[in-house]
Amino acid sequence: MEGIVQYGISIDPLTGLLCGARQVLSAHCDSRPPGMVPELIVVHGISLPPGEFGGPWIERLFTGDLDAGAHPFFQSVADLRVSSHLLVRRDGEPVQFVPFGLRAWHAGASSWQSRSACNDFSVGIELEGTDEAPYEDRQYEALAALIRALCAAYPTLSGARVVGHSEIAPGRKSDPGPAFDWPRLRKLLR
């Protein structure tokens, strides 16, 4: 698959797929409303079970295959229909769930600069982590490379606003949390 290569990452803007990434496609997505294109990148943090890293649980949640009996916490989230465009694992591995041209169900009730329904015009990137635990060096490097590649592949993201889930759903969401180093990400994007 040929695509736009930026910082070693290639995105095919026609299919919306990240070349070379593991694809675990989710049905928890749909078409963006007519005329809507990605204009915002939303950074999230997730761990399942909370505070634990690794394992198949995030992928199973995003594909609707999370066994509610596998852990007590899963009973509260197993029926959610959520996804994200990408997950960046602790080791920096990107996993894609939704092509970038489609609407992933990552933001929920949200608003940015007086525009509601951020899923309509955003790309969601989950980082495997928690609000309190430091994110890994490889995650910052991968995130910066992904943002650069997205901006190269989708002109509407050039100079993109990159925000945390907490900024578009204040009071409801806190991720990626105080452990996320925004100045570090900005420095990597310069």
CA gyration radius for the chain?
Answer: 15
pLDDT for position 1: 39
Residues with active-site annotation: 126
Average pLDDT, rounded, for the chain: 94
CA distance 116 to 105: 14
Residues 145, 8 contacting (CB under 8 angstroms): yes
For 58-92, the pLDDT digits (tens) are 999 999 999 999 999 999 999 999 999 999 999 99
Tokens of 8: 């070693």
Q: Which domains does the chain carry?
A: 4-189 (3.40.80.10)
pTM listed for this prediction:
0.94
For 118-165, the pLDDT digits (tens) are 999 999 999 999 999 999 999 999 999 999 999 988 888 877 699 999
Helix 137-153 / helix 182-189 crossing angle, nearest 10 deg: 50
- 50: pLDDT strictly greater than 90: yes
Which among 188, 148, 166, 141 has a CA at the least distance from the CA of 43? 166
pLDDT for position 4: 47
